[in-house]
Amino acid sequence: MQGENSQFDAASATPALHLQAIEKSFGDNRILTGIDLQVRAGEFIALVGPSGCGKSTLLRIAAGLERPDSGRVLLNGKDLTAARAADRDMAMVFQSYALYPHLSARQNMALPLVMRRLSALERLPWVGRFIGETRAKLAAIRQEIEQSAHTLKITPLLDRKPAQMSGGQRQRVALGRALVRHPKAFLMDEPLSNLDASLRVHMRTEIAELHHRAGVVTVYVTHDQEEALSIADRVAVMMGGRILQLDTPQAIYRDPQHIDVACFIGSPRINIIPVEVSSNRRAYWGEVELARGCEFPDEGAFRLAIRPEALKLHSDPQPGAFAVHLHRVEFLGVEALCHLVLPGSDVALVTRQSPEIATQLKKQMDMSHVLYASALDTDWLAFNENGQRVALHLPTQVTPIALSRLHDEAFI
């Protein structure tokens, strides 16, 4: 299920990078099924998903480091499926950086250019530089490296070996090695996951800026959903070898098409309440009616989901509110998380409140004290038994999808 957001006008019909109908298994393990990914020119796409969902494998197939069982890899219309990685003109940044430990930063960055521009004869140690135009080529390479080093602010590190650099510095050298090639696509395999949290946030912006400057297609693999949402033009959520949804970050967040997407994206996790929809097409948790005003397309078992920030708490009963018990409050400085429980069950809910309100609520906290939770009709998301998103009929005839468009326009 892939939603196409019309906010982006497709500039050209041919995608810059097209992974078409990719299937891949390792022995009995189905790693990728029916993958179709089209990346537009200059776009930054994040592949995000839990460990084992196949995102790294997909990236390696794009790079040419793995062969798909079936399907094609097309770059600017050209079929590269049979081409080996060295011939694809794509650069990759690895999670472990994969810098050559015995070479300096400069030599690491020079290697891809040396391998491509100098013949085997010219590459011979000592003797090579007396052959032909080797010296001129090497000088040109040197200059390009200095330029890239300047961009990445690693000029003072150029003569150091990887062991003499910090994680963040190695990261930049790895980026530099990819950058100097001026490739047609950048492929990044969790490049920031080995860095500590604050450095990660900082490097995120740098990578985004680099991409903006280079203007080249970038496919970025990560398991960190926050990272994916923050830097990508579009996000592909992958699970169990499939792409569940490919959309802008806002649409992924506001408008998940599958319950797995809704649960994976967003922190703290979205709240899920299992409900029974009766013949009157209204949702009931036990005796309590939830999402009053929302009409379901069918009767049966469904799951209602609501984001923590969309759930409001009141000390007194409100129309449309339902009873909850306050279990615990977590103070996080700028906000507080209130952990709730639906009475008589272990269904846990989380809401975000301001610290002041949370303090007030905490003062009244004990297991038997009841609070009331409510949410806007438009904030409820519904998913059927298969996990697929179903549209709810709202009294004002405004569809949730159109509403999220209104929200987005308000932010632009």
Partner 1 sequence: MMASSYFLRGLRIVLLLLGAAFVLAPFVFMVSTSLKPQAEVFSSTLQLVPQQWFAVSNYTKALTRIPMGQVLLNGIYVCLAIVVFQVLFALPCAYALAKLRFRGREFVFGLVLLGLLIPIHAISIPLYAAARSTGLLNTLSVLIVPFLLSVFAIFLFRQFIKSIPDDLIAAARCDGLSELAIVWRIVLPNAWPAASAFAVFSVVAHWNDLYWPLIAISKTELATPPLGLLFFRAAESGDDYGALMAAAVVITLPLVMFFLFAQRMFIEGMTMSGLKG
Partner 2 sequence: MKHSFDPNEVRSAYWLSAPALILMLALLLLPTLAVLVLSFTDAELGVPQVNFRGLAAYADLLNDRTFLGAVKNTALYVLLVVPASVVLGLGLAMLIEADDLFKPFFRSIYFLPVVSLLVAMASVWQYLMHPSIGPINMLLNKFGLSSVNWLGSSDNVMGALALIGIWQTVGFNMVLFLAGLTSINRDLYAAAEMDGARSAWSRFCVVTWPMLGPTTLFVLTISVINAVKVFETVATLTQGGPGKASDVLLWVIYEEGFVHLQIGAASAMAMVFIAVLLVLVLIQTRVLEKRVHYT
Binding of residue 70 to partner 1 (CB under 8 A): no
Give the Cα separation of 111 and 183 in Å (integer).
14
Binding of residue 329 to partner 1 (CB under 8 A): no
Q: Which does 294 bind (CB under 5 to 8 A by kind): partner 2, partner 1, none?
A: none
Q: Which does 91 bind (CB under 5 to 8 A by kind): partner 1, partner 2, none?
A: partner 2
Question: CB under 8 Å to 138, separation ≥6 — which residues?
Answer: 114, 118, 129
Provide the minimum distance between the beta carbon of 64 and partner 1 in the complex, in angstroms, as a whole number: 9
Q: Residues binding partner 1: what is the number (CB under 8 A)? A: 3
Whole-number Cα distances in Å, 54 to 48, 187, 265: 10, 15, 17
Report yes or no: 301 and 289 within 8 Å, Cβ to Cβ: no
Q: Which does 131 bind (CB under 5 to 8 A by kind): partner 1, partner 2, none?
A: none
Provide the minimum distance between the beta carbon of 46 and partner 1 in the complex, in angstroms, as a whole number: 27
Binding mask of the shown chain, residues 44 to 63, with x at each position contacting partner 1 by CB under 8 A: --------------------
What is the rounded radius of gyration, in angstroms, for the C-alpha atoms of the chain?
Answer: 26
Provide the minimum distance between the beta carbon of 182 and partner 1 in the complex, in angstroms, as a whole number: 25
Q: Which does 67 bind (CB under 5 to 8 A by kind): partner 2, partner 1, none?
A: partner 1
Give the Cα separation of 256 and 245 in Å (integer).
8
Q: Which does 94 bind (CB under 5 to 8 A by kind): partner 2, partner 1, none?
A: partner 2
Q: Which does 410 bind (CB under 5 to 8 A by kind): partner 2, partner 1, none?
A: none
Comparing CB distances to partner 1, the nearer of 60 and 258 is 60
Judged by CB under 8 A, the residue of 67, 137, 327, 352 near partner 1 is 67
Give the Cα separation of 383 and 306 in Å (integer).
11
Binding of residue 65 to partner 1 (CB under 8 A): yes
Q: Contact residues for partner 2 (CB under 8 A)? A: 60, 63-65, 84-86, 90-92, 94-96, 98-102, 111-112, 115-116, 120, 161-163, 177
Report yes or no: 215 and 15 within 8 Å, Cβ to Cβ: no
Provide the minimum distance between the beta carbon of 171 and partner 2 in the complex, in angstroms, as a whole number: 14
Give the Cα separation of 118 and 80 in Å (integer).
24
Provide the minimum distance between the beta carbon of 189 and partner 2 in the complex, in angstroms, as a whole number: 9
Comparing CB distances to partner 1, the nearer of 65 and 98 is 65
Provide the minimum distance between the beta carbon of 133 and partner 2 in the complex, in angstroms, as a whole number: 18
Provide the minimum distance between the beta carbon of 69 and partner 1 in the complex, in angstroms, as a whole number: 12
Comparing CB distances to partner 1, the nearer of 83 and 329 is 83
Comparing CB distances to partner 1, the nearer of 65 and 114 is 65
Question: CB under 8 Å to 58, separation ≥6 — which residues?
Answer: 19, 22, 24, 32, 35, 37, 47, 221, 238
Comparing CB distances to partner 1, the nearer of 122 and 189 is 189
Comparing CB distances to partner 2, the nearer of 181 and 269 is 181
Binding of residue 84 to partner 1 (CB under 8 A): yes
Provide the minimum distance between the beta carbon of 85 and partner 1 in the complex, in angstroms, as a whole number: 8
Chain residues binding partner 1 by CB under 8 A are 65, 67, 84
